[in-house]
Structure 1
């Protein structure tokens, strides 16, 4: 009998142990769902600080549902039409949220879920902006005193709205600071925006105008995470400081990197700031190795450092002094095809303009490039323009050459820069891109000045004896 009791006890313990081992996993996601009436697109985009996720939408019903893993409780935006229609949200890592909206009247929106009260407040906040400030152009066109009055009215209205909505204490603290930064950011933008909108480039604010940067904290990680306006103010000020520090003709990408390292102490903010710029800036720096080495020293983010190192290892193959990558059989506007080898060993340097017909900045350089070609006609330099339009734009390429009376050697690659192996070896991030190659096919500058940079480009030509 005793043996039987012991056996039953062991079985009970075993069953209990199995039950513990089969406990359900802890939820580590939220479900974002809803319906957007009168919405005919197939997807929407959820974005936040270092976060982006595309969400599929049923085109017939406008309904959507997706599991989302976010990296922090924070403000997010649900983009319905880029630059025009969006919904502001506050999401928590495991708290589901549901949205019912009408695309034709996006202000008519309802939320359910634990954070419904917060999200309804954010929708009302956006309406408050429209009611009081109307739009940015109207706001920044106001005379100084009217602008300050309007900003105070808006700020007071938002504070009253946030306090009256019984928002959670932790959120309310962040939101009040965010409202203050939005106010300060608008003040910091006023002088430049008013001058541009009124075409008064010499405009300056009065001595009595509030200083938006008084006691500004350049190293607040919490504010960097939770306030979009703080992030934009910080980025703008750091950019301006770097411009002041950068000597004429200096390496601005490197100066900006050093500026952030010197001023920003918070590691999260610093890592994010230098990485966002470095992804593009490393392709423009004149001091590639120094830029890479300093980034590696300044950043503490492993993923960021891996990406920049990978980029560096590609770019160093097209650095100054390296053999230029070869392109082959690009269509020549004057007939036949042309390869890089056809242009080398003739005693001439090559000034290559990489452009596209859709690129407005490229077209602005064309008249200046033509003037440059006339000035250096008969000298030891050949001007080559390479279109990185795809095949569909072939006729447009030819017509653009005719319409703008483009000179020099005109080549058509038939591929966008992202699909063109030759262009990818330079990691071209933006157009136009200018490259100088010596007569033997070695790179003189992978980031040569544009014709619009005038003296800076002429100085290089002079140094080369062109």
Structure 2
């Protein structure tokens, strides 16, 4: 009897040990990169971004990852990107030469899929050659080439004996890539050929026919689908008569997209810049909170909102102090106030192409308002290393007005962060008493809209 009891207890212990045995819930991503002198390696995916530690001495990396979604990822090696298909418990290894990225080797259960991605890139070069050449083709030739490329990719995916579930997803990806090429044709052809009046014929296929605005699976797995969806939502928004694009975009997303994951992601991605650019801060915040169901997104937006409340219309402008003045000496905000003049502040940087495009228009604006109750102030948010470039840019572009140098990037500059400046250029209007009139003033390129504000202020 005792023997039976002992055996039973041993059996229970063995079963218990089996139950407590840890289940693998991770994958190991490793690799070796030849001729790579930098250390910037990042894994990117839908709602996923992680820097991978790279050992320059051994030219290798290895990281344990826990991913929430099986699917498409990109390994960013400095500026070069490699497509990867990852599943949550399958180890993947990659061996490549940075100088010869086409000669890459994959190891692991998903190696067949990852090797297919390399062949897919070769097909682009073989059939399309270059995007400029492709989109410059006359309509009939373009459609023939687009169909030829689509058929080649479909045949390639089938011939590689890919796993069934992946193949189903990939065939849809190929189709979305084809549709995205069609949707880009008119704009790209017009730009490349200079034919601004170009429109495709009536027989040109409609890439948005029966388009699904709420496909969860396609949104996660297909880059082309995401781009098409975002582009179409932006087009719908732009076609509406609105004074606040960013607020209207939120409303468009809420009206057109039903899937919660898709809607939440679209709202969140736009809000990072949108909440800093909207003309209706409180309404924007309230609508985002009503439309989104993602708590983390709401918490993050609330933090931004609470900062931006302090620099909203009517609030005292935050003070900057002792910025270098190109004309000599140091200048603070207080030095510019008390003269009965409004301040039109341009926050810019020498590396910003959009900033430089505004400079000729800003100069013209200054000439038109010379002698009136407004002062034009340009604040460079270049770091100290760009000091000489800042001065040379002022000379080369014959910049006028008050030219100030902060010596810090906007992300490191406390004054700029109070406005949550995320995109340049940024224009701000401050009244003679130092209160904010408009934290998101129109740039000079939006001439009539800006002039209406100046007229309303009696300038």
Pairwise CA distance, 1:13: 7.0
Structure 1 match to 2:385: 392
- Long gaps (5+) in structure 2: none
SS of corresponding position for 1:282: helix
User: How does 1:49-88 map onto structure 2 within 5 Å?
Assistant: 49-82=46-79, 85-88=80-83
8 Å Cα contact 1:385-1:408 kept in structure 2: yes
Structure 1 match to 2:260: 267
Pairwise CA distance, 1:310: 0.6
Structure 2 match to 1:200: 195
Pairwise CA distance, 1:9: 6.3
Shift of the 405–104 alpha-carbon distance from structure 1 to 2, 3 Å rule, reads: closer
**Match for residue 169 of structure 1 among 149, 164, 167:** 164
Structure 2 match to 1:464: 457
**Match for residue 178 of structure 1 among 173, 177, 188:** 173
1:340 aligns with 2:337: no
Shift of the 17–230 alpha-carbon distance from structure 1 to 2, 3 Å rule, reads: closer
Moved more, 134-143 or 96-105: 96-105
Following the alignment from structure 1 to structure 2, what is the Cα–Cα distance between the partners of residues 195 and 279?
Answer: 31
Structure 2 match to 1:187: 182
Give the TM-score of the pair, scaled to structure 1: 0.94
Pairwise CA distance, 1:323: 0.8
Moved more, 363-372 or 192-201: 363-372
Pairwise CA distance, 1:395: 2.4
1:25 aligns with 2:18: no
8 Å Cα contact 2:39-2:78 kept in structure 1: no
1:156 aligns with 2:155: no
**Match for residue 35 of structure 2 among 38, 42, 67:** 38
Pairwise CA distance, 1:222: 0.9
User: How does 1:234-253 map onto structure 2 within 5 Å?
Assistant: 234-247=229-242, 250-253=243-246
Following the alignment from structure 1 to structure 2, what is the Cα–Cα distance between the partners of residues 337 and 39?
Answer: 44
Pairwise CA distance, 1:39: 2.7
Shift of the 61–224 alpha-carbon distance from structure 1 to 2, 3 Å rule, reads: same
Following the alignment from structure 2 to structure 1, what is the Cα–Cα distance between the partners of residues 356 and 412?
Answer: 22
Moved more, 255-264 or 364-373: 364-373
Pairwise CA distance, 1:112: 1.9
**Match for residue 146 of structure 1 among 141, 148, 170:** 141
Moved more, 154-163 or 442-451: 154-163
Following the alignment from structure 2 to structure 1, what is the Cα–Cα distance between the partners of residues 387 and 84?
Answer: 44
User: How does 1:408-419 map onto structure 2 within 5 Å?
Assistant: 408-419=401-412
Pairwise CA distance, 1:8: 4.8
Shift of the 240–32 alpha-carbon distance from structure 1 to 2, 3 Å rule, reads: same
Pairwise CA distance, 1:18: 6.8
Shift of the 40–409 alpha-carbon distance from structure 1 to 2, 3 Å rule, reads: closer
Moved more, 140-149 or 339-348: 339-348
8 Å Cα contact 1:37-1:61 kept in structure 2: no
Size of the alignment, in residue pairs?
459
Give the TM-score of the pair, scaled to structure 2: 0.95
SS of corresponding position for 1:110: strand
1:296 aligns with 2:299: no
SS of corresponding position for 2:194: coil
Following the alignment from structure 2 to structure 1, what is the Cα–Cα distance between the partners of residues 100 and 362?
Answer: 49
Following the alignment from structure 2 to structure 1, what is the Cα–Cα distance between the partners of residues 295 and 193?
Answer: 47
Aligned Cα root-mean-square deviation (Å): 1.9
1:47 aligns with 2:44: yes
User: How does 1:211-290 map onto structure 2 within 5 Å?
Assistant: 211-247=206-242, 250-290=243-283
8 Å Cα contact 2:40-2:78 kept in structure 1: no
Structure 2 match to 1:96: 91
Pairwise CA distance, 1:11: 6.7
Shift of the 216–443 alpha-carbon distance from structure 1 to 2, 3 Å rule, reads: same
Moved more, 450-459 or 374-383: 374-383
Following the alignment from structure 1 to structure 2, what is the Cα–Cα distance between the partners of residues 243 and 259?
Answer: 10
